[in-house]
Amino acid sequence: MDRHVEAFLEMLVAERGAARNTLLAYQSDLDDLSAHLGGGIAGASAESLRGYMGALAGSGLAARTQARRLSAVRQFFRFLVREEVRADDPTELLDSPRLPRSLPKYLSEAEVDALLEAARSRPPAQALALTAALEILYATGMRVSELLGLPRSALSGDAVVLLIRGKGGRERIVPLSDAARDAAAALAGGRRDRWLFPGRPARQAMTRQGFALTLKQAALAAGIDPARVSPHVLRHSFASHMLARGADLRSLQLLLGHADIATTQIYTHVLAERLQRLVEAHHPLARAGGADPAGA
């Protein structure tokens, strides 16, 4: 491995608490650049990097994948400048790929209710775990990695909040609903496992794949297309429903654990819909059928 890339990855661990999957993604992106340039990426020129981005676009690679690779390259060269390996940043004038606007996919409140009802109807052992997982995810907006990493003691007693360790080791506190606490207590009662959601074997936490499978089964039982249901869709559902019911973006940022409020702003479509309803309900000129208030 290139020694500069190795130092960059070590920095990601030491300063940002980057997870293994994050490191592998950065390494893969930088390896791709190295393969294109024939090695020696630390000395790359702006022109050669522009050629690399053009090659990515010409290969038909999705715009989001191009943007992710450019982000990895930019962070690498900023690191080199900071460490005085280079005096200049050749990525400064590179154009970012134009990304299509996409709205977060989420379920309706009725669909979440149906999913919870289906979870309660699963075989007893599966029902306890799946119901607790859904209640906690929907009550807190947690990431699935945060959920499955919860120790059994995390929701013990009468705790009304939950301390979550998120990306980069950042901690945040989220309130718990009564339903989430009750479901977790029912799941953890009488057990001595380390994890709230144990896997097979029980000494290990449940895997994402195992949880995703049971979630898809519940979706089928609820009459919802399984392709529309995932842990991240539940996170989007939590955020969208919170905003629709009056939460503000700054509070939502704290609950979701976003480092930058710009990330939270993907949900502004919900705010726009809410504002439109407010205008239609309260503006003096917003009359049924667009009728003129003077009757003209």
Residues identified as active-site:
143, 167, 232, 235, 258, 267
**CB of 256 closer than 8 Å to CB of 264:** yes
Q: Which of 226, 235, 68 is CA-nearest to residue 146?
A: 235
Single-letter amino acid, residue 6: E
Phi, psi of 171 (to 5 degrees): -105, 145
Query: Look-up: residue for tokens 């070590």?
Result: 10
Kindly give, in sequence order, each residue whose CB lies less than 8 Å from that of residue 144, ignoring residues fewer than 6 positions away. 137, 208, 211, 231, 232
CA distance 77 to 82: 9
**CB of 11 closer than 8 Å to CB of 22:** no
Which contacts of 88-93 are long-range, i.e. CB under 8 A and separated by 24 or more positions? 90/44, 90/45, 90/46, 90/49, 91/46, 91/49, 92/46, 93/46
